[in-house]
Amino acid sequence: MRDNQSRTSGNKAILFAQLLSVLLIWVFVVAITIWIINLILLAVDLKDAPGASVAISIVAIPVFIILASVLTYVFVGLQKGRKVTSSKMEEN
């Protein structure tokens, strides 16, 4: 009984850590995107050449979005795998 309870609390801790990492990466991606867009708008307002900001944003924003998407995809895949594994354990 205690072993089952420790597994449940361990699973909840793992799930919380995974959810936290997915949430934080998306907050990071949104913050970086807003920051880069703000840099471009600031360069335009100051009548400066926004070339560097645009060049950085063309590369950085898609890279961050892809990394966050991969992390989210892995999280969803782990959750599906956990559900399949736990249902097989319950059958035995």
Q: If you ran DSSP here, which 8-state letter would residue 79 be given?
A: H
pLDDT, average across residues 67-84: 85
Q: Grade residue 1 by pLDDT with cuts at 50, 70 and 90.
A: very low
Whole-number Å distance between alpha carbons of 70 and 72: 5
Does residue 3 carry a pLDDT above 60?
A: no
Q: Look up residue 68 and give its two tokens.
A: 């966050």
pLDDT confidence of residue 66: 96
Tens of pLDDT, residue by residue over 15-62, are 888 899 999 999 999 999 999 889 888 888 998 887 877 888 889 899
Q: Evaluate the CA torsion angle 24, 29, 35, 41 in order and state its sign.
A: negative
Q: For the chain, how many structural domains are there in total?
A: 1
pLDDT confidence of residue 68: 94
What residue has token string 């597994």? 7
Q: Grade residue 80 by pLDDT with cuts at 50, 70 and 90.
A: confident
Task: Tell me the pTM.
Answer: 0.71
Structural domain range at position 34: 2-91
